[in-house]
Amino acid sequence: MNRHRPTFGRNYLRPTFGRTERRWLRRGAGFGVLAISASIVLGAGCESPTQYDDLCGWLHDPENCYREFFIDIGARCGDSQLKSGQFLTRDNLSLCILDQGGQILIDPPIDLNSPPPFNPDPLTFTFINPDATKCGSLEFNAEYDFSLTITPDPPPDDGSPPPESDVAGGVFSMTGGKDTDSLATTCPSGASYNFDRLQITRCDDVEAILPHVQLDFNAGGIEQTGVVRLFVYYPPQDGSVDDPAHPPTPVPINYFDCVIPAAPPPCQNGVKDGSETDVDCGGSFCTTKCEDGQSCIQDNDCASNVCGLTMGIKQCKGP
Are 271 and 256 in the same domain?
A: no
**Does any domain span residue 190?**
yes
Q: Where are the alpha helices (DSSP H) in 134-229?
A: none
Are 108 and 151 in the same domain?
A: yes
Picking from 92, 85, 70, the residue whose alpha carbon sits closest to that of residue 15 is 70
Q: DSSP assignment, residue 178?
A: S
pTM listed for this prediction: 0.74
**Residues 112, 117, 119, 121: what is their CA dihedral angle, to the nearest 10 degrees?**
120
Are 248 and 271 in the same domain?
A: no
pLDDT, position 241:
84
pLDDT, position 211:
95
Task: Tell me the one-letter amino acid at 160.
Answer: S
pLDDT per residue of the chain (319 residues) written in tens, 0 to 9: 433 333 333 333 333 333 333 343 333 333 333 333 333 333 333 333 344 668 999 999 988 999 999 999 999 999 999 999 999 999 899 999 999 999 999 999 999 888 887 777 899 999 999 999 999 999 999 999 999 999 999 988 887 888 888 999 999 999 986 667 889 999 999 999 999 888 888 888 899 999 999 999 999 988 899 999 999 999 999 888 887 778 899 999 999 999 999 998 889 888 898 899 999 999 988 999 999 999 999 999 999 999 999 999 999 998 7
Are 195 and 298 in the same domain?
A: no
Sorted by sequence, the CB contacts under 8 Å of residue 308 that are 6+ apart come out as 314, 315, 317
Q: Is the bond preceding residue 108 a cis peptide, omega within 30 degrees?
A: yes
Count of structural domains, the chain: 2
pLDDT, position 298:
96
The domain of 66 spans 22-260
Point out the domain boundary residue: 260, 279, 298: 260
**Does any domain span residue 8?**
no
Separation CA 138–CA 150 (nearest Å): 9
> 56: part of which helix (H) or strand (E)?
helix 55-60
Q: DSSP assignment, residue 219?
A: -
pLDDT, position 157:
84
**Residues 188, 193, 198, 199: what is their CA dihedral angle, to the nearest 10 degrees?**
-100
**Does any domain span residue 5?**
no
Separation CA 316–CA 301 (nearest Å): 8
Is the CA virtual torsion 269, 273, 274, 279 positive or negative? positive
**Does any domain span residue 311?**
yes
Are 247 and 303 in the same domain?
A: no
Are 157 and 284 in the same domain?
A: no
Are 213 and 154 in the same domain?
A: yes
Are 209 and 294 in the same domain?
A: no
Are 227 and 295 in the same domain?
A: no
Task: Tell me the one-letter amino acid at 166.
Answer: D
Is the CA virtual torsion 65, 68, 74, 76 positive or negative? negative
Q: DSSP assignment, residue 30?
A: H
pLDDT, position 18:
39
Is the CA virtual torsion 164, 59, 137, 84 positive or negative? negative
